[in-house]
A and B are shown apart, each in its own frame.
Chain A
Amino acid sequence: MSEIEATLTRVQNHKGVLGVVIVNNEGIILRSTLDDVNTKNYAELIPSLSNLAKNLVRDLDPQNDLEFLRIRSQKHEIMVAAREEFTLIVIQDPLVGFAQ
């Protein structure tokens, strides 16, 4: 509820976070802070990869399950939380430093 909204806003406003996308298990986009094109791309491509990763983890040990998937590319890092009901994607550019 509002706690979720508060956390979501906090994550979005972190320095370096390029966008947050939430997709449900049927592929419907629930929430996104990116533009349409990018959102659609992420919403189509990421769930299939996370399914493959989940298959891998569970084939190795059926009692195990996938929690998070992190893909570090040259430009940014994509962090995916893959659950049954939804897939939560956060794209962050980790080199944008936070001046301490």
Chain B
Amino acid sequence: MPPKRGNDKDKGKKKGRESLESQNQEYIPPPPPMPGDEFTMPSREVVKPDNQLKLSEADLNEEIAKMLTANNPIAAQNVVRFNMKERTFKLEPMVEQSITLYTTDGWLLFKGSDEAKRQIDTEKLQAEAKAKFQAEIDRASSERREDGVEINPPDDSRQLRNQFNFSERAIQTVNYPLRDRDTFTEPPPTANISGTCNQWGIYDEYIKDLERQRQDEALKSKGGKKGQQQQQQTNPHGGAHMATLVATKTEHIPVMECDNLKQSLKILDRMVNQNMFDEIAMDFRYWDDTSDAFRPGEGSLLPLWKFMNEKAKRRQVTSICWNPLYDDLFAVGYGSYEFLKQASGLICLYSLKNPSSPEFSFITESGVMCLDFHPEFANLLAVGCYDGTVLVYDVRVKTEEPIYKATVKTGKHSDPVWQIYWQGDESNRSLQFISTSSDGIINLWTLSKSELVPECLMKLRTVAKDLATGEVTEEAAATQGPAGGCCMDFNKMPGQDSIYLVGTEEGAIHKCSKAYSSQYLSTYLAHNLAVYSVKWNPFQQNSFLSASADWTVKLWDANEPDKHQLNFDLNGSVGDVEWSPHCASIFAAVTDDGKVHMFDLEQNKLLPICSQKVVKKAKLTKIVFNRKQPIILVGDDKGCVTSLKLSPNLRGKINQS
């Protein structure tokens, strides 16, 4: 009865439905339509189990996204492997997500693959062999028919294998069960090495390589010669030389003695000095006295560094000379002007960069009276001493000994040498200098290989003005004795190089020439006391200055020996006078009262444009101008050299920056 059964079914279905509902009340499957029962809507009951999670409306309405992914839910997510590089166990992020559901091996091969080709070849071979065999069989049978002799049919056991003539027997050996054994080793001991590579590291390596290559080449070319020499002389020097050729870098100099340290210390010393004298260094470079704009015709001197030395304190500065090559280097000679207080002499080479201590210093036996640098070979320093010796030093050489020394045998002067000058390199290759001394002899010294060779240029004789005739005559040497030369200056004008002036102790100035050794060209009866300095004007021909102990400085025209052009009375014995190297009309003079007087003849012919006391209680002995910078050096008799900066008015119309 369909309805009954349908009801039973219905009930069963209902029950099933209930149970279904109890499990999952969200999905209520509609019952399949009953035959004949399509129009009755079945009632639905919603039954909530007790332990169901209670959600709020919002939560119920919350949309939960369900994603379909291709991940394998069974795949492990926490696979860990040991990483050799980092020596730790690391989680594997990516795990195999694919599951193999079904595999089967196929038997189709691609025609072009290797395996397929091999198979085709073997098939071909088989076909060929079969054809050959068949051919043989045919031949054999045809032969048999001919001969009638039984010949063994060709062996075809290989071809035909069936159960009648072929049996296969197989044996299986014992297969030992395989077991896996593995061990883990300790990760090898590792050490961390790190380095950085810079562009300059690469550059250094290339340079070193280049050096090595060059050395190798040098060795190869010299190796033959040096080897022979070594065999001939068992001189240790030869061996050492070869060794040094091979291993230039393997000798180990202790750090405290290497050259680098010396150099660095020297520069650091200068840096410390620069810090100490910072203001002075700035002034030297940049400060210009602006008040000079308001005072035309007047100038001032700004004191800069003072160069002092312990050893020099007891001595007097007798000469200063700038080095022609290095603008900041100058030499100072120390000695004594006193006849009774004679001691050893000192030469110090200072640099403006280090005012605290000299770069080089040499001690001489007797006081230094004058010195001069060679204009071309700036390492040669000629020195004249109080006892009449002349010395030549090479300042590069570290020893304290002069390279040349004049002794009694080689004709040194018998009186102090007051002035010394190098002669420029002329056609003769040897170096020469000229010295003048109180014994009246002017000597031209030549540097030969081992010693100094003097040649007398001139013998000074005293002159006296004949009161009656007004003429200047030279008196015979017998009556008056030789005149003493106190100072000397060579004319720097081109073409007049051989003309020089000599100032004497008696106050006369003589113009002489290197060509004529017997006569003066002209004489100027200049002063009443000793002439301490004569200087030609570097720009204007034929004019020169003379400074004397009679408190005056006189300007002369060389063509008028009778009368001086200008006379300046300075109220004190004038130690030295010098023209400015920048301006033709400016010169400076120093006096015993510690003052520096500067004159500008273009502006004022009578009065100095600057008269300034630069030292307290000391007599100034020497003054020099610097060629490039607007500074002057003044030496005094307490052993101190003061540097002063010229204010703009003192530098003349040509103001160099």
Footprint of B on A, CB under 8 Å?
1, 3-4, 7-8, 10-11, 14-17, 22, 24, 30-31, 55, 58-59, 62-63, 67-68, 70, 77, 79, 81, 83, 85-86, 88, 90, 92, 94, 96-98, 100
Contact = CB atoms under 8 A, between A and B. Distances in A.
Given A10-B356, A30-B255, A31-B256, A59 B265 contact: no
B203 interface: yes
Contact of A79 (B200, B260, B268): B268
25 contacts: A10-B356, A10-B357, A16-B272, A17-B272, A30-B255, A30-B256, A59-B198, A62-B202, A62-B204, A63-B203, A67-B267, A77-B275, A81-B267, A81-B268, A83-B264, A85-B258, A85-B260, A86-B255, A86-B260, A86-B261, A90-B268, A92-B272, A92-B275, A92-B276, A94-B278
B271 interface: yes
A70 B271 contact: yes
B271 A24 contact: no
Contacts of B198: 55, 58-59
A100 B267 CA distance: 22
B25 interface: no
B328 interface: no
Given A58-B198, A70-B271, A92-B272, A7 B262 contact: yes
Nearest to B398: A3
B303 interface: yes
Q: Nearest 9 CB-CB pairs, A to B?
A: A58-B200, A62-B203, A81-B264, A94-B275, A62-B200, A7-B265, A98-B276, A86-B255, A83-B260
A36 to B, nearest CB: 20
Contact of B262 (A4, A63, A92): A4
Interface string B247-260: 00000000111101
A4 B275 contact: no
B199 A62 contact: yes
A17 B543 CA distance: 52
A81 to B, nearest CB: 4
A33 to B, nearest CB: 13
Given A58-B198, A58-B199, A59-B199, A88 B265 contact: yes
Nearest to B277: A98
Contacts of A1: 257
A3 B262 contact: yes
| SS class, residues of chain A in contact with chain B | mixed
Given A62-B199, A62-B203, A88 B276 contact: no
Contacts of B215: none
Q: How large is the interface on B (under 10, 10 to 19, 20 to 34, 35 or more residues)?
A: 20 to 34
A97 B276 CA distance: 6
Interface string B272-302: 1101111010000000000000000000000
Contacts of B489: none
B613 interface: no
B262 A79 contact: no
A68 B267 contact: yes
Given A58-B199, A62-B203, A94 B260 contact: no
B557 interface: no
Contacts of A67: 267
A23 to B, nearest CB: 10
A4 B261 contact: yes
B303 A7 contact: no
B266 interface: yes
Given A4-B257, A16-B275, A16-B276, A10 B199 contact: no
A76 to B, nearest CB: 10
Interface in B187-201: 198-200
